[in-house]
Structure 1
Amino acid sequence: MHDQLAGRTVFITGSGGVLGSTYVRRMLAAGARVVASDLPGHRADALTETHGDNDNFRFYELDVGDEAQVESIFQRIMGDGWEPNVVLNNAAITGELLMGAGKSFPDFADTSVSDWERTMRTNLTGAFMVARQMDRDIVGRYPATLINVASMYALNGPHHRIYEGMPFKSFSAYSATKAGIHGLTLWLAGYWAERKATVNTIAPGAVFNGHSDEFQRRVGELIMAGRMAQPDEIADAMLFLCSAQAGYMTGQLVNVDGGFSGW
């Protein structure tokens, strides 16, 4: 529906990834004004090249782990005449991102504290800082919605055997931060309720992003639907959560995982 998000101004962190860029595209198509953000680099450049001519699109460079940048982001956006009433805490470091070019994936025993803390800083502390700034600048001024993005590994353990022989593994800090994300949702949902703000968590399942046929086969066997998700299938649920139709939902965890968490 072109007007599903009419009247919504959506601010998205981590907008340049496979899901973030899909959310941007789909929300613009659904009638939203979209404020995208990400670290500077090729992903940010791709967003601005694709959507920069759209009057309903704005882009801001943002490192969610940088407190000063987060503390100024909503004032910058509102100073440009936009008022975000929907916020997506989507930015995240994954195990794949920590690998770096040509670097082998560490076993748990070899995981560095610096990699653990870097992941915590972006995935969980960053989400907290964005929510705290919403509290300061937005919540209570007008009805608002926060969607925290978790993972199928937030409340379910990974099947470690599917990663055997793969260039990447499931990363312990990622699971820990994604579980923490829903804890933040539950705390905020009650805290903001009287100020007409809703807070929910979406937990995407395994999303196809160039994975090998063998990995797709292994993970597909663990999913009721028998396959990985396409990014637009996650965006379908995200659009609903960002819309007025989800106005009576708060404090909820919505699994969009093809049935992975049902087994």
Structure 2
Amino acid sequence: MTEQLTGRTIFITGAGGVLGSTYVRRMLAEGARVVATDLPGARAEALQEAHGDKAGFRFYELDVGDEAQVTGIFQRVMGDGWNPDVVLNNAAITGEMLMGAGKSFPDFADTSVEDWEKTLRTNLTGAFMIARQMDRDIVGKYPSTLINVASMYALNGAHHPIYDGMPFKNFSAYGVTKAGIHGLTVWLAGYWAQRQATVNTIAPGAVFNNHSEEFQRRVGELIMAGRMCQPDEIADVMLFLCSPQSRYMTGQMVNVDGGFSAW
């Protein structure tokens, strides 16, 4: 343990997912205090079961698409004595999550406005509302950092043939929101530049999450590293972005994609 995050308090949305839960585990191991948020349910319960007994961990239920909940979240957290140095906009709806809600995966022509707008509400509007509340409650009061989580598909087109015959496809609204979140990064980086706040984007590559061997093979052919990544490989870079060592970085997108975006 290097404990490079000792003394830092990190606030993270969508903390119960594959990447989010990895970030929480790794941040706690590095000495950070972690304020984890997510929707109520199995993911939230798993987080609390894994870390609820740790002094450096707190959990709050939060729907980032609910303006009333977002408006009060930092005052609530800070009122409990936890002042976030770093905020991670990590919450996101994916096409797979929509399928998990009992929906079949639509072709683009059959994509409903409801699903499109629900994805925008969480992935992009939610990120905006978290950043806006950070502006109101944190930025300028002490040095702070915002990290927006994008995707390898933020600034690169999806390779649709790799999804042929798979039970899921690349969801259009997901890529659109992930492009938009980097737009939020570069806008805020300049806006907060004189207020001791930095803003960066991390763009994770294809993260393995029990995908089939065939899908792994197809994705691997598009990546210089030849394979999907493990969640801890994304967390390695996230830890740096959360640390004081990244203090001279702002307005940047960091691709952690095994070379996907370089081809």
When normalised by structure 2's length, the TM-score is 0.99
Give the equivalent residue in structure 1 for 2:133: 133
Q: Secondary structure at the match of 2:147?
A: strand
Are the structure 2 counterparts of residues 146 and 101 from structure 1 closer, same or farther at C-alpha, using a change threshold of 3 Å? closer
Superimposed CA distance per residue, residues 230-251 of structure 1 (whole angstroms, 9 cap, x where no aligned partner): 0000000000000000000000
SS in 2 for 1:215: helix
Q: Which amino acid aligns with 1:146?
A: L
Who is 2:73 aligned against? 73
In 2, the alpha carbon distance for the partners of 1:219 and 1:3 equals 34
Q: Name the residue aligned to 1:86.
A: 86
Q: CA deviation at 1:104?
A: 2.3
Structure 1 residue 25 and structure 2 residue 25: aligned? yes
Residues in 2 aligned to 1:102 and 1:192: alpha-carbon distance in whole angstroms = 41
Question: For structure 2, which runs of at least 5 residues remain unmatched after alignment?
Answer: none
| SS in structure 1 at match of 2:60 | strand
Distance across 2 between alignment mates of 1:170 and 1:240:
29
Q: Which ranges in structure 1 are unaligned for 5 or more consecutive residues?
A: none
- 2:56 partner amino acid: N
Name the CA distance, whole Å, in 2 between partners of 1:226 and 1:200.
Answer: 27
The answer for the alignment partner of 1:59 in structure 2 is 59
Aligned residue for 2:257? 257
**Closer, same or farther in 2 for the Cα pair 1:197/1:101, shift >3 Å?**
closer
Moved over 2 A (4+): 100-104
CA deviation after TM superposition for structure 1 residue 102, in Å:
5.3
Q: d(CA) in 1 for partners of 2:42 and 2:114?
A: 25
- Which residue of the partner structure matches residue 240 of structure 1? 240
Identical-pair percentage: 83
Cα deviation, 1:202-245, whole Å, max 9, x if unaligned, reads 00000000000000000000000000000000000000000000
Offset, 1:2: 3.0
TM-score when normalising by structure 1:
0.99
Q: Does 1:212 pair with 2:212?
A: yes
Q: Cα RMSD between the aligned structures?
A: 0.7
Give 1:37 deviation, angstroms.
0.3
**Structure 2 Cα separation of the partners of residues 97 and 28 of structure 1:** 27
Count of residues in Structure 1 that have an aligned counterpart in Structure 2: 263
Cross-structure match for 1:221: 221
Give 1:100 deviation, angstroms.
3.0
Q: Post-superposition shift, 1:101?
A: 5.4
